[in-house]
A and B are shown apart, each in its own frame.
Chain A
């Protein structure tokens, strides 16, 4: 069976032109996807790398069990906790996220996503200064100046350049690449920088200074310094003029800007730069979001609870205070007394102090394959891969929502994240809770 227009649920580029051939519930061919995407599709065949059976910890060891027992144990852990943390969410569907938010609200827990350790600072900057952006098709059709700053799409988002920014022919850029200019600003000469028309090497941790220097030139100031952030004055002035004189410019920025020294202040300054540029020409910006549905989490939490991440429902309503309610802060203060991790692996990626607390408290892990997090969990529930084995919604990095497809059956007995959340919610509520079951949001 050949499927066309399949959406790749790996990165925030969310390519929707993939062709997949499935035979006997095995993916035998993947066309158009990048190497990472292809690997994800094909990995769904390798059941030895998957979690297939629910497990609970008995006498210090994870042992296989029935789904009902695993769900009961998980619900018991969450229900008896005073302040559970529900973390992960970026690599699953909006439907699962929506059910998870309802669960967090029911439990009075804290819900946070991987946003907290990637573009969280960008969100904080948006609170300060707003967000002048566009959809990626606008870049394809109009952009004649494309800047990647602290981002290396050749590795992280391999098809970003060919689908949206540099290589494609657009309505007003008929010749594709030759109608555009690519500038890369980074601390090292990345593979993206190698194909750029201009590479600007900025000193590590001095992005803020470089942005300020650019703003000074854009706003008509005189740059007196010989060089700023390791970039000579002449180059800064040239870049600023290039930005002011283009017809449609776009600034893609990555973790090199959000997670380096200055963090949200860097982004705040970059937003102000884009705003300043709009006095002269058309300029927009776009964070290079990583996980395929990290944007979706902020959108769903945004419309349901008013905030983009790090929400504490302990008071019965949504309380948002990054630095207090963010996952790492809750963990490092030892504040949460149980955790549920879904579609994420904080044990590999969080600071040691956070992981130490995570290891101390009862932990429920829901994932498609074993990870260091599932290794230390007390309950492990396997789930199906959204976009391959189950349908759902995901938001591309520019907030364009797409419907993920189902192209093969999940392993026997394995449920979707959404269904697992629904069943947990029902168990947590119990028959005696008296809470009226809202009309099912499942779709």
Chain B
């Protein structure tokens, strides 16, 4: 199919295009220089960006489904009957797989990565990804509490750890190394946690510091497309910014093998808290931002909070237990043998709560204090800070100091007192918005064909009904919020999926995973060890562990030459 998107205002940060009026040509699912006899879509007076790329969102897998099953109340609030094109769909903070695809597509997103996949449960994650239409997708694979990883790193065998990581990505059909509360997940097997980088993990005689620096090395040895994706220790704890700053130092442990960071610290809003009790709870976003600004191998995504009811879910089991003991709300947990320990509990971010109000401000402070937008990506850690479909509201906050001021008046005064948000007058422009919602994500993930509109890129495009020459986002923030929620067109792989905010076509995207190979003799040594361990300590046989390709829609392995031996 050939398409010409005519005369729109194009924002394409990777190619340095900042609001130029130009045509985007599409042929056979790719962006091309020029095309003959293409169908013309008139985009004059409209804003064109590459398709959105979601880098961290809990959209598929065991704990997401636990959230759905645990919270029927979440599924009666947001209901869409079936149409001639779409399936029946529902859910608010834990939307059904179909709704997840539809809603992302309406926002102009064309690619999404689910944030935490336990390898033992990978088949489940992929079954759900299979049922998420409209998007290309992938899964960040949990390794930070894996027994093999801890054992190999403890004995200093980084090569074997790397061979294991490569095998695990192939077995689980994962895309990147995800680390969640390193050491804490294992400690939670005994109802405990680790509270600093140097707390030893019970029975494994290794510290979170060693796990993180080890995995940074492993990641760069394997030269994986993405850096390690790190959910640091002490999430949500008062005064945790100290741990976060210490954690950032560990990014220096290896030279980046590709043109990207060595550590992406995720949902860093939850890790930027000062104070010494809930009474003195305050923002330390400025210190964190300063550290990010001064380092060139760490980037963050914010994990912005938006007020309302949501479901928190993470592989950080002790944290979920702690949170549910604060709120008294229902709590689910599932320790996963040798791997991780996810938990789920509902949460309400209230404008009347001093803590919630500060959390809201912290996310925005981070986005506004960090200078280079490529270093601060927009996420809500869906659904932990808010459901992903609140992105337009956050975009409007980032683009309008006035909107922030209006909201500040509605929230608890702690947001004014204990954060610097009220003093910031920076406003994002469309170029920066395009960076924090797609270009930055694609760069961080090492997706060279996504997040931009240069020839050869995937023809994933979002067209918004905003005329940047007429709209002043600082003043018309309501319009920004409204228009970013419904694209005029969402185009994926050259096909129009959404028109005027309505879904016109449902497709299945590709599933991306990393196929990294290591030296054969190393692989043999690894398999011997795996064989021994699986027989004794797993509850499934090694042969039944790897995920078959049949579970993936349009499986797309990304070959990586590692040279690990």
> Which residues of chain B have C-beta atoms less than 8 A from A304's C-beta?
87, 96-98, 131
- A441 at the A/B interface (Cβ < 8 Å)? yes
Is the CB–CB distance between B124 and A401 below 8 Å?
A: yes
Is the CB–CB distance between A403 and B123 below 8 Å?
A: yes
- B537 at the A/B interface (Cβ < 8 Å)? yes
- A138 at the A/B interface (Cβ < 8 Å)? yes
Rounded to whole angstroms, the CA-CA distance of A315 and B80 in the bound complex is 10
- A47 at the A/B interface (Cβ < 8 Å)? no
- B170 at the A/B interface (Cβ < 8 Å)? no
Rounded to whole angstroms, the CA-CA distance of A198 and B193 in the bound complex is 32
Q: How far is the CB of A326 from chain B (nearest CB, A)?
A: 14
> Which residues of chain A have C-beta atoms less than 8 A from B543's C-beta?
4-5
Is the CB–CB distance between B506 and A441 below 8 Å?
A: no
- B372 at the A/B interface (Cβ < 8 Å)? no
- B409 at the A/B interface (Cβ < 8 Å)? no
Q: Which of A201-209, A227-235, A355-363, A432-440 contacts B (4 or more CB under 8 A)?
A: A432-440
Q: Which of B28-36, B68-76, B420-428 contacts A (4 or more CB under 8 A)?
A: B68-76
Is the CB–CB distance between B333 and A284 below 8 Å?
A: yes
Is the CB–CB distance between A401 and B121 below 8 Å?
A: yes
- B82 at the A/B interface (Cβ < 8 Å)? yes
A-contact 0/1 string along B60-100, CB 8 Å cutoff: 10101110111111111001111011011111001011100
Q: How far is the CB of B549 from chain A (nearest CB, A)?
A: 9
Is the CB–CB distance between A138 and B75 below 8 Å?
A: no
Is the CB–CB distance between B88 and A399 below 8 Å?
A: no
8 Å CB contact of B330 from A17, A128, A171, A317: A128
- A408 at the A/B interface (Cβ < 8 Å)? no
- B499 at the A/B interface (Cβ < 8 Å)? no
Q: Which residues 515-565 of B have a CB within 8 angstroms of A?
A: 536-541, 543-544, 548, 550-551, 553
- B253 at the A/B interface (Cβ < 8 Å)? no
Is the CB–CB distance between B539 and A137 below 8 Å?
A: yes
Is the CB–CB distance between B507 and A439 below 8 Å?
A: yes
- A116 at the A/B interface (Cβ < 8 Å)? no
Is the CB–CB distance between B123 and A393 below 8 Å?
A: yes
8 Å CB contact of A399 from B62, B85, B344: B62
Is the CB–CB distance between B87 and A306 below 8 Å?
A: no
> Which residues of chain A have C-beta atoms less than 8 A from B124's C-beta?
299, 395, 399, 401
8 Å CB contact of A278 from B69, B76, B191: B191
> Which residue of B is nearest A271, CB measured?
B330
Known interface pairs A142-B189, A401-B127; A105-B88 also in contact (CB < 8 Å): yes
Q: Which of A162-170, A214-222, A343-351, A377-385 contacts B (4 or more CB under 8 A)?
A: A162-170
Q: How far is the CB of B303 from chain A (nearest CB, A)?
A: 23
> Which residues of chain A have C-beta atoms less than 8 A from B96's C-beta?
303-306
> Which residues of chain B have C-beta atoms less than 8 A from A261's C-beta?
none
- B250 at the A/B interface (Cβ < 8 Å)? no
Q: Which residues 142-179 of A have a CB within 8 angstroms of B?
A: 142, 163-164, 169-172
8 Å CB contact of A402 from B82, B189, B544: B544
Is the CB–CB distance between A400 and B70 below 8 Å?
A: no
Rounded to whole angstroms, the CA-CA distance of A243 and B415 in the bound complex is 44
Rounded to whole angstroms, the CA-CA distance of A212 and B92 in the bound complex is 35
> Which residues of chain A have C-beta atoms less than 8 A from B84's C-beta?
434-436
Is the CB–CB distance between A137 and B330 below 8 Å?
A: no
Q: Pick the most buried of B94, B344, B539, B540: most chain A CB atoms within 10 A of its CB.
A: B539
Is the CB–CB distance between B539 and A164 below 8 Å?
A: yes
Is the CB–CB distance between B334 and A133 below 8 Å?
A: yes
- B416 at the A/B interface (Cβ < 8 Å)? no
Is the CB–CB distance between B331 and A134 below 8 Å?
A: no
Is the CB–CB distance between B90 and A305 below 8 Å?
A: yes
> Which residues of chain A have C-beta atoms less than 8 A from B80's C-beta?
317
Q: How far is the CB of B536 from chain A (nearest CB, A)?
A: 7
Is the CB–CB distance between A135 and B337 below 8 Å?
A: yes
> Which residues of chain A have C-beta atoms less than 8 A from B189's C-beta?
138, 142, 248, 282
Q: How far is the CB of A190 from chain B (nearest CB, A)?
A: 24
Is the CB–CB distance between B334 and A135 below 8 Å?
A: yes
- A94 at the A/B interface (Cβ < 8 Å)? yes
- A298 at the A/B interface (Cβ < 8 Å)? yes
8 Å CB contact of A7 from B75, B128, B544: B544
Is the CB–CB distance between B90 and A318 below 8 Å?
A: yes
Q: How far is the CB of B507 from chain A (nearest CB, A)?
A: 7
- B120 at the A/B interface (Cβ < 8 Å)? yes
Q: Which residues 367-399 of A have a CB within 8 angstroms of B?
A: 393, 395, 398-399
A and B contact pairs by CB, cutoff 8 A, 14 listed: A130-B324, A130-B332, A130-B345, A133-B335, A135-B335, A136-B337, A300-B127, A303-B127, A304-B131, A306-B94, A307-B68, A317-B89, A318-B79, A320-B75
Give the 7 A-B residue pairs with the shortest CB-CB distance, closest first: A137-B337, A316-B81, A306-B75, A137-B539, A282-B191, A130-B330, A134-B335
Additional A-B contact list (17), CB under 8 Å, known A16-B544, A140-B539: A7-B544, A98-B131, A130-B324, A131-B334, A133-B335, A138-B337, A248-B190, A278-B321, A282-B189, A283-B191, A284-B333, A306-B72, A313-B88, A318-B88, A318-B90, A320-B76, A441-B131
